[in-house]
């Protein structure tokens, strides 16, 4: 991202070059393994990407806040008090939700000019929404000297999405965006928020992100449906054993109790969560032992479970993973994110990169009629002030 160019756009929009602005950044994330476990009190293993959302901001001395983005021609202005959901400029609800949470905590907003610019592919499942929330939270924390720590800001970002946007997400996306570290993945226990930044030592191997370019129209509604199914399974198991989340159960204990769940479909949802939790533990151990082959096998197993038990993949994601399995030098591949479109993440040898793009891209287009995009998954730091003043 060319920060100088972004500052130029800011002043073209808002004028008054004599009044300086501040610049912040928050990354998107890719989850290496541990999907749909975060809202079940389980384990996840994401890393922050070098792609993300930039925010240029300054106070404007007025009683209104002006929102613009380089990604859409959808500017918006709202009063500094009394926030309400925006129907015509839905992207603004993510930063507004953060502001709403801060006001509820006793902080005051003031008139300001804001310009957002993201290079996370929208609706790709790489958490563009969390990066918007986190860049807003970090910027306002600095701008108004709120002195909140990063964990507080992460919780605010999640609550903004839950309560203002209306997506009942877990905390993983905001946590990865806030606590990411270059060349590390974040091993997180979502029930306690205990975490470890694990070195991501891949040697001659790389992370490749493949975007299906299918719009994730079902993702939010099906996401909330899966949450409800998991809560139903917990209610059934609680008849015999007091549990508040599936993440509290070991795999062996779940097998003992699974017949308490009357519906087979709901039982399969729960089976995915508990087995995925175990895969995260195994994957973290494999990475620490530099066993990338086992790590890749666990990625494949994760995708199979998401396809068969949790049913959140679809032909596009399944095709990308099936074709990745055929390419020599690929150790593992899986969908990442909520599903129903979005992206896969693959672990492959650096010499297989071009072959992967050519062979997987061609086979995917032939089967789905869509052309995928490919990105190297370069791992970066978490949300921060960039140090650039305009």
2 contacts 371 by C-beta, under 8 angstroms: no
**C-alpha pair distances (Å), 343 with each of 123, 125, 165, 340, 348:** 9, 6, 22, 9, 16
Query: Which of 19, 5, 382 lies closest to 197, judged by CA?
Result: 382
The DSSP call for residue 247 is: G
User: Which one from 173, 189, 256, 381 is the annotated catalytic residue?
Assistant: 173
Strands 184-189 and 205-211, by their bridges, are: unpaired
Q: How far apart are CA 158 and CA 164, in angstroms?
A: 10
Between CA 161 and CA 361 the distance in angstroms is: 34
Burial of 137 (0-12, 13-18, 19+ CB in 10 A): buried
Alpha carbons 282 and 284: distance in angstroms, whole number: 6
Does the annotation count 145 as an active-site position?
no
Burial class (CB in 10 A: 0-12, 13-18, 19+), 86: middle
Distances (CA, A) of 142 to 132, 153, 179, 206, 321: 16, 11, 17, 35, 42
Q: What is the DSSP string of 76-106?
A: EEEESSS----SS-GGGHHHHHHHHHHHHTT
Q: What number of residues does the chain have?
A: 390
Q: What is the dihedral of CA 62, 68, 73, 75, to 10 degrees?
A: -30
Radius of gyration (C-alpha) of the chain in whole angstroms: 21
CA–CA separation, 133 vs 157, rounded Å? 5
> Is 119 in contact with 25 (CB distance < 8 Å)?
no
**Which residues are identified as catalytic?**
173
């Amino acid at each position: 991202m060319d920060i100088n160019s972004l500052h130029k756009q800011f002043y073209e929009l808002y004028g008054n070059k004599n009044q300086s602005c501040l610049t912040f950044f928050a990354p998107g994330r890719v989850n290496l393994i541990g999907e749909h476990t975060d809202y079940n009190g389980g384990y996840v293993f994401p890393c922050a990407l070098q792609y993300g959302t930039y925010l240029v901001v300054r106070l404007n001395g007025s009683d209104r806040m002006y929102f613009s983005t380089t990604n859409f021609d959808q500017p918006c202005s709202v009063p500094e008090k009394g926030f309400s959901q925006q129907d015509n400029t839905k992207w603004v609800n993510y930063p507004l939700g953060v502001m709403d949470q801060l006001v509820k905590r006793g902080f005051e907003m003031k008139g300001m000019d804001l310009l957002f610019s993201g290079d996370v592919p929208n609706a790709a499942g790489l958490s563009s929404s969390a990066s918007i929330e986190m860049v807003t939270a970090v910027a306002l924390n600095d701008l108004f000297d709120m002195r909140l720590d990063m964990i507080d800001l992460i919780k605010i970002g999640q609550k903004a999405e839950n309560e203002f946007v209306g997506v009942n997400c877990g905390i993983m996306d905001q946590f990865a965006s806030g606590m990411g570290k270059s060349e590390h993945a974040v091993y997180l226990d979502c029930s306690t928020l205990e975490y470890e930044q694990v070195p991501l030592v891949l040697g001659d191997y790389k992370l490749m992100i493949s975007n299906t370019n299918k719009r994730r129209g079902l993702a939010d509604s099906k996401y909330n449906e899966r949450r409800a199914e998991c809560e139903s399974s917990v209610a059934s198991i609680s008849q015999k054993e007091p549990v508040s989340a599936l993440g509290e159960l070991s795999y062996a204990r779940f097998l003992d109790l699974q017949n308490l769940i009357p519906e087979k479909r709901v039982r399969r949802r729960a089976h995915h969560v508990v087995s995925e939790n175990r895969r995260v533990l195994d994957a973290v151990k494999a990475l620490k032992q530099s066993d990338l082959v086992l790590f890749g096998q666990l990625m494949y197993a994760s995708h199979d479970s998401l396809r068969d038990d949790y049913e959140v993949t679809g032909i596009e994601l399944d095709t990308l993973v099936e074709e990745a399995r055929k390419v020599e030098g690929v150790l593992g591949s899986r969908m990442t994110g909520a599903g129903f479109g979005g992206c896969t993440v693959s672990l492959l040898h650096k010499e297989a990169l071009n072959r992967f793009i050519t062979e997987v891209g061609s086979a995917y287009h032939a089967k789905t009629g869509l052309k995928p995009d490919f990105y190297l998954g370069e791992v970066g730091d978490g949300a921060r002030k960039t140090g650039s003043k305009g």
